[in-house]
Structure 1
Amino acid sequence: MGDQVEGIDELDLKILSYLQDDGRMTFKEIAARIGVAERTVRLRVANLKEDGVLSIVGVVSPIKVGLKTMAAIQIVAEQQKIQQCINELMELDEVRFVSLTTGEYQILSEVCVRSQEELGDFVEQKLNNVTGILRMNIILELKIFKNKFNFIRE
């Protein structure tokens, strides 16, 4: 496995690799595959969760629940209002992702809505009211080919 991260050892990485593939895998099954006691896996997972390394959640497919229109939105914001802009974006239900970036646009966000019409309404009624936005570039996602959450590689 890759380089070791501070506080995470080879055993933690093995546990994480199993859980990222199947978050419902039992501690007993992980322990059997790795060759350690079930209690060891249980304690390690508890520590990884407590340290903020691991969250076990159900990942919902936006398309399967009717959110068929996704857009990446690049934003240029007033320099003194970038954090306020980010905070307001994070409060919007339609926004699923927000990051600070380098380059021409300081903020990158992703939005999931039901239709292009709903995306238009979102931009007009909500996004245009977010503090500090000077300019944006809306990139409509036409087809998703890969959307994985596997970060641990062997």
Structure 2
Amino acid sequence: MGKLDHIDFAILGYLQENGKRSYTEIARLLDVSEGTIRTRINRMLKEDVFEFVIHTNPNKIGLHVQAIIGISTKLGMQEEIAIQLNRYSEVRFVGAFSGRHDIIIQAYFKNNEDLVFFVNKKLAKIDGIVSADVNIELKQFKDSFSYVP
């Protein structure tokens, strides 16, 4: 992949502020042609620099319980378990970590009963999980996918 320059970073910044911003508006803000913006966005999309994603507010769609679950696995089973966790619609994020937990997941539920069911019925069925440390979000202070200054 080619190096990103200041125009690429500016484009990313404008899109992070408002993903519906038009190529024409970004071109005007950067004093370049719309074709330049279109070409650079298409290149960055092709090179997986970013992707367009709809970020849904979980509370607005009835998912009122967010849990971060740290999972300890049997040695050698981390990847196999992660693959199984990917299949659950409740799970938004699965990552391998160093430290206390082998895998950490982020999952959303309608209510606490659904979370308890997930832990006791779904996670309990997965061979190789030694323990699950369930943490419920009490208050959110920041939720951002913005990495470009």
TM-score by length of 1: 0.93
Measure how far apart 1:6 and its partner are.
5.9
Contact 1:75 1:106 in 2 (8 A): yes
2:44 pairs with one of 43, 48, 54: 48
Partner of 1:145: 141
The root-mean-square deviation of aligned C-alpha atoms, in Å, is: 1.2
Question: What is the rounded CA distance, in whole Å, between the counterparts of 1:16 and 1:129 in structure 2?
Answer: 42
**2: distance between equivalents of 1:47 and 1:32?**
20
Name the aligned partner's letter for residue 28 of structure 2.
Answer: A
* Candidates 48, 55, 58, aligned match of 2:54: 58
Letter in 2 for 1:19: L
1:76 maps to 2:38: no
- By how many angstroms is 1:130 displaced? 2.0
- Note the residue ranges of structure 1 that are not aligned, 5 or more in a row: none
Q: What TM-score, normalized to structure 2? A: 0.96
CA distance in 2, matches of 1:17, 1:150: 8
The residue aligned with 2:82 is 86
SS in 1 for 2:76: helix
Give structure 2 stretches of 5+ with no counterpart: none
Is the partner of 1:112 in helix, strand or coil?
Answer: strand
1:115 positional shift: 0.1
Q: Map of 1:1-154 to 2, 5 A cutoff? A: 7-153=3-149
- SS of 2:77 mapped into structure 1: helix
CA distance in 2, matches of 1:6, 1:103: 35
The total of aligned residue pairs comes to 149
Could you tell me how far 1:7 is from its partner in structure 2?
Answer: 2.2
- Answer whether contact 1:84 1:131 (CA < 8 A) is retained: no
Q: Identity over the aligned pairs, expressed in percent?
A: 32
Q: 1 or 2 for the larger relative contact order (CA 8 Å, sep ≥6)?
A: 1
1:88–1:131 CA contact under 8 A, matched in 2: no
1:88-126 deviation per Cα after TM superposition (whole angstroms, max 9, x unaligned): 011111000111111011111011010000100111121
Once the two structures are overlaid, the 10-residue window that deviates more, 98-107 or 124-133, is 124-133
